[in-house]
Structure 1
Amino acid sequence: MLSSIKAGGVLMFPIILCGIIATFIIIERCFYFMNIKKRDEKLMNDLQGSLGSQNFDACAVACTEAGTPMAQVLKKAFDCRRYQEKDLRELVEAEMDFVVPRLEHLLTPLGTIANIATLLGLLGTVTGNIKAFGVLGAGGTMGDPALLATAISEALVTTVAGLIVSIPSVVFHNYFISRVNHRLVEMEAKVTEVLVRLTGRV
């Protein structure tokens, strides 16, 4: 491992740093989405009884305890339930827009790392090839075989390292984006269901 890092040259350090940050983001987001899914399921179960008895204060308390983006939007609906239906819907929609960044937290850096890691690997390939051609140019037909092997090794190792970081980052970035979209669709459905009850249409 250490020999491969050394062979990749100085560009291995930012690639490794990108890999560490990407790993942290992936683990954090996985736990986050698993956690809010469980909390939202518990919240909706808790709300069923309170909604049936029109105990909206208890509903608001349950939302506060859940602490998820969906709970935040639902709490806004319960807190503003005495508003006109049009105003209520506008406030809830604004709150939904407000909680989206919580779902998308750290996804932009993850996407950036996916691109940067690829470019760093490509840069390592270019610099390694430049060194290889420099060795060939300085030493006649073949140059110094040891120096030539070192330059080629730098080109290949940085390319591989960049792809190792980039590919999982791209995969998980797209996966998390799909999770965000799924949560937003589900949130919209649940909030609409609650709004229908609050406005007295059921």
Structure 2
Amino acid sequence: MLELMQAGGWLMVPIIACSIVATAIVLERAWALRRTRIMPDGLVTRIWQWHSAGQLTRARILEIREGSPLGRILSAGLINRYHSREVMKEAIHDTGRQVVAGLERYLTTLGTIAAVTPLLGLLGTVFGMIEVFGVIVSAGVGHPGMLAGGISQALITTAAGLSVAIPSLIFHRIFNSRVDALAIGMEEQALRLVEVIKGEREHDDEVGA
């Protein structure tokens, strides 16, 4: 590995740094975007039970808020449950945008790495070819050993850049798709809560949904 870094030249340093950052982001987002963590099962049902039993206190709402991203969205509606349906929806919508922004954290950085690392590899290729042509100008083409250094630098940096960019792009698309699916799911749960609290959906319907 050390020999490859040395052969690839100084551009291997930012490429390897990008690979470390991308790996950290992938591991962190894979853990953070688990559906069970974002949308606990049966949360709306438990809220309805507390509400119907008169046990939906401020302490319970705070517990709901701190429990999960979905809970944060639902708590925004619960705080405004004595206001109109439109006020509840607006509060949920505003908080939902903040929650989704949190779910998208670091994904822009991952997408940037996926876009930049092939360019770093291409830049290494250009520098390698410049070195090759410099050797040709100064020593001619009769010294293959001297030419090999520039050619190896060109190939190594290109391969390294693509090796980082391809998985980064794949995980960037996967996480973006997961965030979209979670956002839709949380929106559905929040609207169901509004309908239940405002009496537009029976409890039995909510449980069966």
Match of 1:195 in 2: 194
How many residue pairs end up in the alignment? 199
Asked whether the equivalents of residues 47 and 59 of structure 1 are also in contact (C-alpha less than 8 Å), the reply is no
What is the match of residue 134 of structure 1?
134
Whether the 8 Å contact between 1:51 and 1:59 is mirrored in structure 2 is: no
Is the 1:76–1:92 Cα contact (8 Å) retained in structure 2? Answer: yes
1:112-151 Cα deviation digits (max 9, x unpaired): 01111110001001110111111112222x1432221010
Report the AA paired with residue 183 of structure 2. L
Structure 2 residues without counterparts, runs of 5 or longer: 202-209
CA distance, structure 2, for counterparts of residue 60 and residue 98 of structure 1:
18
Counterparts of 1:1-202 in structure 2 under 5 Å?
A: 1-34=1-34, 37-38=36-37, 40-42=39-41, 44=43, 46-47=46-47, 49-53=49-53, 55-57=55-57, 60-66=61-67, 68-140=68-140, 142-202=141-201
Residue 43 of structure 1 and its aligned partner are, at CA, apart by: 5.8
- Alignment partners' CA distance in 1, 2:173 and 2:85: 36
Check whether the contact 2:39–2:186 (CA below 8 A) recurs between aligned residues: no
Q: Which aligned runs of 4 or more in structure 1 are off by greater than 3 angstroms?
A: 45-49, 51-55
Q: Using the aligned pairs only, state the percent identity.
A: 37
Q: Equivalents in 1 of 2:180, 2:41: separation in Å?
A: 21
77-86 or 104-113: bigger deviation = 77-86
User: Structure 1 unaligned runs (5+)?
Assistant: none
The two structures have a TM-score, normalised by structure 1, of 0.91
Q: TM-score normalised to the size of structure 2?
A: 0.88
Amino acid at match of 1:144: H
| Aligned-residue offset at 1:84 | 1.3
